[in-house]
Amino acid sequence: MNTAITLSKLSDMLGGRLAGDGDRVISGAAAFASATASDITFAAGAKYLKNLGGTDAGAVLVPRDFEGDHPNTIRVENPQAAFAAVLAHFYPRPRPRPGIHPAAVIAGDLVVGEGFHAGAGVVVGEGCRFGRAVTLHPGVVIGGGVRLGDDVEVFPSVVMLDGTRVGSRVIVHAGTVIGSDGFGFAPDGDSYVKIPHTGIVQIDDDVEIGANNAIDRATFGRTWIQRGVKTDNLVHIAHNCTIGADTVVVAQVGISGSVTVGRHAILAGQAGVAGHLTIGDNAIVGPQAGLAKSVADGETVSGSPGMPHRVWLRVHRLLPRLPEIKKELDELKKQVARLMAGDPR
């Protein structure tokens, strides 16, 4: 497939403002340092904008207010986002052709739109309803009564258990389990009684779920992943959580049951969140933070236990000096003891 395009057409596609040779043909996209004359790259930060002579790229995406020198630039609001659109143009994700592999096991009552693909080893339970252009890669298991919207792609070995609801334009990466029982057990003397989980998982439009996530079904009601959420690999979201729209959850985050996360929050790698907390809109939880209390809108917290980031920075700077501080404190205690005993030394 020939994806080569002139700069003028590429600028129109991006809604940008071209400065340079509109007839120049671009056939690929590459990183700033490795781009060639047939490639386009992007420069968003000051480091790159000051060094446009350091790239051999045939064209550069730059911020709309950029006034520097380069033979060919396209000025856009967000160079990185525009570069993502360029990458999608030159390197579109391959999708298998529609069809059902002979080794797939599909319930006879499946209702599905056009463009459906099911790879080898796919299993689809009874009562499912899928939209258009749904792709199930090999080994995917879909339980009963699952709903998938349009343009959903599910990678190998994903399991979606009974009743899961998934919107449109959702991507689920390999090995993820959606709709497993939550970790709920009632103590009964020295043993535990399993609490049935009768709810579902709901995943809204434009969500991308990383590899090897575990998203538990609700005890009652739903575990809800709202529109535009992006999760990294190895994330656990427990029963009855709500993850607000456009929130980012980075690798190895663990979120306990009944946590509510607001819109456009960031949970950095290996953060842990205790149950029944609320994390506000636009909040940031730092890497390896351990949250034992809720976080307000717009607040940034770090450390374990989680604390305001500026406080954590002061604490962190003190940690290497603790042995020295203890030595000084012990000496002061000795001096105070001598003074109280009437020893003027």
| Cβ-based burial of 308 (10 A; exposed 0-12, middle 13-18, buried ≥19) | middle
Alpha helices in the chain (DSSP H): 7-14, 46-49, 79-90, 309-318, 322-340
Q: Please say which residue of 47, 73, 90 terminates a domain.
A: 90
Examine the domain organization and report whether 222 and 109 are in the same domain.
yes
At position 231, the amino acid (one-letter code) is T
Q: What is the pLDDT of residues 283-306, one digit of tens each?
A: 999 999 999 999 999 999 998 778
* Inside any domain, residue 339: no
Same domain, 295 and 191: yes
Report the alpha-carbon distance of residue 271 to residue 66 in Å, rounded: 37
Q: Do residues 16 and 82 make contact, with C-beta atoms less than 8 angstroms apart?
A: yes
Question: Angle at CA 51, nearest 5°, toward 45 and 56?
Answer: 110
Q: What is the pLDDT of residue 27?
A: 96
User: Is 81 found in the same domain as 173?
Assistant: no
pLDDT band at 252 (very low <50, low <70, confident <90, very high): very high
Residue 75 pLDDT: 96
Beta-carbon neighbour count of residue 290 at 10 Å? 16
- Whether 204 maps to a domain, the answer reads yes
Which of 101, 197, 239, 276 is catalytic? The answer is 239
Which of 90, 107, 142 is a domain's end point?
A: 90
Residue 227 maps to a domain: yes
Average pLDDT for 218-234: 98
User: Quick one: tokens of 335?
Assistant: 């001096």
Name the DSSP class of 319.
G
Residue 230 CA: distances (Å) to CA of 98, 172, 179, 210, 245? 27, 10, 18, 8, 9
Per-residue pLDDT reduced to its tens digit, 41-71:
999 889 999 999 899 999 999 999 998 878 9
pLDDT tens-digit series, residues 20-42: 999 999 999 999 999 999 999 99
Q: Please check whether residue 315 lies inside any domain of the structure.
A: no
Neighbouring-strand partners of residue 100: 118
Which of 131, 127, 172 is closest to 146 using CA atoms? Answer: 127
Q: pLDDT band at residue 323, thresholds of 50, 70 and 90?
A: confident
pLDDT tens, residue by residue, 124-154: 999 999 999 999 999 999 999 999 999 999 9
Are residues 272 and 134 part of one domain? yes
Same domain assignment for residues 112 and 24: no
Active site residue 239: yes
For residue 331, being part of any structural domain is answered with no
Same domain, yes or no, for 57 and 185?
Answer: no
Quote the percentage of the chain above a pLDDT of 90.
83
Q: Are 184 and 167 in contact (CB under 8 A)?
A: no
At 197, the pLDDT band (50, 70, 90 cuts) reads: very high
Say if residue 231's pLDDT is above 70: yes
> Would 63 be classed as within a structural domain?
yes
Q: How confident is the model at residue 229 (pLDDT cuts 50, 70, 90)?
A: very high
CA distance 34 to 41: 9
For residues 143 and 62, membership in a common domain is answered with no
Question: Do 158 and 290 reside in the same domain of the chain?
Answer: yes
Residue 19: give its domain's CATH number: 3.40.1390.10
pTM of the model: 0.88
Judge if 160 and 19 occupy the same domain.
Answer: no
Residue 235 scores a pLDDT above 80: yes
Residue 85 and residue 112 in one domain: no
Range of the domain at 113: 99-310
Compute the C-alpha angle 62/18/67, nearest 5°: 50
Residue 327: inside a domain: no
Q: Are residues 176 and 43 in the same domain?
A: no
- Averaged pLDDT, 80-93: 95
Give the pLDDT of residue 153: 98
Average pLDDT in the 304-323 region? 80
Total number of domains in the chain: 2
Residue 316 resides in a domain: no
* pLDDT for the residue 319: 77
Last residue within a domain, chosen from 50, 65, 90: 90
Structure tokens at 342: 């009437």
- Let me know whether 59 and 139 are in one domain: no
CATH of the domain at 210: 2.160.10.10
